[in-house]
Every structure is written in structure tokens, then in C-alpha cells.
């Protein structure tokens, strides 16, 4: 595993190494080479993101704040299949990974144990955000 994969696996440790490898096969890595907008409030995101290092800027209801590292972006829209609740932009120092939601849904549908483990990661993330 590369260093960034090892760092990600420390967080995704509910997955077996084989499941983690399957997840990586359908993933795309990104780095903060530009301040890209990744979700738009009111639109259904095509991808689910995870910030490994750095921060993302969240704008919602005239409020702006930073989140990261070790957070999912677009998880609520992914889980409830609804539009994003915020507009999110990557900062120039962010490193992360993303998955096309359609590919992720397909992978997890064919791997029930993996789906349970991955949903657990999303639930932990949501709980941590609510506790802030």
C-alpha cells in the first residue's frame, strides 16, 4: 500500500484488506491543486468524497466553515438519496478520495458485509459531526 492508502486504511479499518482493495479500485484520488467545488446545495452529488488531509469549505444558509481532515463530504445525500444540503469547495491543500455514487452503490449491493462496514463508517462520521 502507498502511504496515503495506509493513512486511509487507518480510518477505514472496519473493512477487511480485500474489501478495502475493492473500494480503492473504483476510487479516484484528488489533491488540492485547485479550489474545486465538489457539491452544490440543492443538487444531487454524483460522487461521495472523503477528505484525508486538509480542509474543505462548506457554505450553507449564509454560513461558512471549514471541515477536515478525516470527514466524508456528500454522505447525507448519498445515504438518503436527496440533494446536497451544502455547497462544498476543496481548499488548495486538501488530499482525498472520491467514488462515483453509482459505482459505490453497485459494489456495496454485491458485498453485503462490506456495505455494513462502510455504512458504519458513514454513521460514525455523521455522529461525530452532530457532536461538534
Q: Residue 34 phi/psi, 5° resolution?
A: -150, 160
- Selection from 45, 59, 43, 57 nearest residue 98 by Cα: 45
Q: What is the CATH number of domain 3-131?
A: 2.60.120.10
Listed by start position, the domains of the chain span: 3-131
Residue 111 is classified by DSSP as -
> Mutual orientation of helices 112-131 and 101-109 as an angle, nearest 10°?
130
Q: What is the arithmetic mean of pLDDT over 70-76?
A: 94
pLDDT surpasses 90 at 103? yes
- Condensed to tens digits (0 to 9), the pLDDT of residues 21-48 reads 999 999 999 987 677 899 999 999 999 9
- Here the cell at position 28 is 479516484
Q: What is the CA radius of gyration of the chain?
A: 14
52 burial level (CB within 10 Å; 0-12, 13-18, 19+): buried
Instruction: Assess contact for 6 and 53: CB atoms under 8 A.
Output: no
What pLDDT is stored for residue 20 in this prediction? 97
Amino acid at each position: 500500500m502507498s502511504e496515503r492508502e495506509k493513512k486511509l486504511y487507518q480510518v477505514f479499518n472496519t473493512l477487511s484488506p480485500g474489501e478495502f482493495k475493492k473500494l480503492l479500485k473504483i476510487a479516484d484520488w484528488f489533491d488540492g491543486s485547485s479550489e474545486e467545488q465538489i457539491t452544490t446545495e440543492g443538487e444531487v452529488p454524483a460522487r461521495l468524497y472523503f477528505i484525508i488531509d486538509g480542509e474543505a469549505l462548506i457554505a450553507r444558509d449564509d454560513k461558512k466553515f471549514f471541515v477536515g481532515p478525516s470527514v466524508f463530504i456528500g454522505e447525507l445525500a448519498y445515504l438518503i438519496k436527496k440533494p446536497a444540503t451544502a455547497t462544498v469547495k476543496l481548499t488548495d491543500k486538501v488530499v482525498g478520495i472520491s467514488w462515483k455514487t453509482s459505482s459505490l452503490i453497485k459494489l456495496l449491493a454485491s458485498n453485503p458485509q462490506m456495505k455494513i462496514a462502510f455504512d458504519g463508517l458513514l454513521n460514525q462520521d455523521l455522529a461525530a459531526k452532530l457532536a461538534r
